[in-house]
Amino acid sequence: MCVVGARPNFIKIAPILAALDKAGRVGSLLVHTGQHYDRQMNDNFFADLGIRQPEINLEVGSGSHAVQTAEIMKRFDGVIDQHRPAGVLVVGDVNSTLAAALVASKKSVAVFHVEAGLRSFDRSMPEEVNRILTDQLSDLLFVTERDATENLLREGIASSKIHFVGNVMIDALRQNIMRAIPAARTLSAAGFAAPDAFALATLHRPSNVDQVETLARLLDTFEEIGRDLPVVFPIHPRTRRQIEAGGLGAKLRSASILALEPVGYLEMVGLLAGAKLVLTDSGGLQEESTALGIPCLTLRSQTERPITVEQGTSTIVGNDPAQIRAAYADFRKDGGKRGRIPELWDGNAAGRIAVILADWLKAAA
């Protein structure tokens, strides 16, 4: 039973479902918790990535962390009883990930976690709590980088459960890059003439968008950078809500910011492929910019994906305008980090997961 709930989950599950299906290796049921539900955050991803309609949708919608997590748990409980899966596969670090893992574990159903072991060492991030707890509950832990294995071993997880398989996000990227929608088309559909060169920005971390002063400073910094290199900015609904609540809408009307609604996956890959620079607090975009060799200024004070800094194109710059400005000046001077592709980020991670899962399930049967 594969469980998804939020935008980055959809991208991760697409190559996994395809690999499980291949040659009928492992049968699957797809459960959607309903954490993300808008056409732009949900339906477009199922269409772009060719993911089948989930067999089960819990339709939980939005809520506080406690309410959302609890509601998923309540609704998922009966689903487990009804279907008695041989195991529950969860991806990433969102509330849906932890909620499903907790329910399965309490019912003595095996938990398989894809993208295990990443740690920001900052427990004020809701995702960090989700990651630590999900990993403690998991029977198989699939990791994207070797640092993650070290983190898990330090937390007392048996090495026999840990498998370094590579990165399914990069499987999806490689499978779809040839189908990407050119940036000029996406921009023109939104009423913008495509600039010769542009930066791509996204923001959605509570630490960047939930306080109006921080968000205002970041938008001002985008505006300033945008005067030199126009900033294409697809806006997450959390961020949109905060911009409206904080009365910051006028900042988006600057000619140097090309504000968009959240874009579909094929549009995003096209924007990424065309961008000179990425400015983001997204986990997925840090990885995708590393895979594509595009310099990325990571607008956070740390990352749970250190390989994107050590080997990839990411530079941690936080959310202080002076630091972002300085990093942008460096990028302008030397073109930014080029990096190299991390080990096993080769497009075959989901295939490795499917083989390990098939063996595990056979042994457990």
Catalytic residues: 204
Select from ligand UD1, ligand UDP, none the partner in contact with residue 202, using the beta carbon and a kind-dependent cut-off of 5 to 8 Å. Answer: ligand UDP
- Alpha-carbon gap, residue 118 to 124, rounded angstroms: 15
The sheet with strand 87-91 has its strands ordered as: 56-57, 30-32, 2-4, 87-91, 110-114, 140-143, 162-164
For residue 139, the 8-state DSSP code is S
Q: Any contact of residue 290 with ligand UDP (CB under 6 A)?
A: no
Single-letter amino acid, residue 59: E
Select from ligand UD1, ligand UDP, none the partner in contact with residue 87, using the beta carbon and a kind-dependent cut-off of 5 to 8 Å. Answer: none
- Alpha-carbon gap, residue 123 to 104, rounded angstroms: 24
Written as one string, the DSSP assignment of 154-211 is HTT--GGGEEE---HHHHHHHHHGGGPPPHHHHHHHTT-PPPSS-EEEE---HHHHSS
Q: Any contact of residue 339 with ligand UDP (CB under 6 A)?
A: no
- Is residue 330 helix, strand or coil? helix
Q: Any contact of residue 115 with ligand UDP (CB under 6 A)?
A: no
Q: Any contact of residue 262 with ligand UDP (CB under 6 A)?
A: yes
Q: Any contact of residue 131 with ligand UD1 (CB under 6 A)?
A: no
Query: Tokens for 341?
Result: 């592709």
Burial class, 363, CB count within 10 angstroms (exposed 0-12 / middle 13-18 / buried 19+): exposed
On whether the CB atoms of residues 2 and 159 are closer than 8 A, the answer is no
Q: Which of 25, 37, 57, 325 binds ligand UD1 (CB under 6 A)?
A: 37
Select from ligand UDP, ligand UD1, none the partner in contact with residue 234, using the beta carbon and a kind-dependent cut-off of 5 to 8 Å. Answer: ligand UDP
- Phi, psi angles (nearest 5°) of residue 31: -115, 130
Site for ligand UD1 in 109-128 (CB under 6 A): 126-127
Q: Any contact of residue 202 with ligand UDP (CB under 6 A)?
A: yes
Q: Which of 2, 3, 4, 6 binds ligand UD1 (CB under 6 A)?
A: 6
CB-wise, 284 or 351, nearer to ligand UD1? 284
* Cβ-closest position to ligand UDP: 284
Q: Any contact of residue 246 with ligand UD1 (CB under 6 A)?
A: no
Question: How many of the chain's residues bind ligand UD1 (CB under 6 A)?
Answer: 20
- List of residues contacting ligand UDP (CB under 6 A): 7-8, 11, 202, 204, 234, 262-263, 265, 268, 282-285, 288
- List of residues contacting ligand UD1 (CB under 6 A): 6-8, 35-38, 41-42, 62, 93-95, 126-127, 204, 236-238, 241
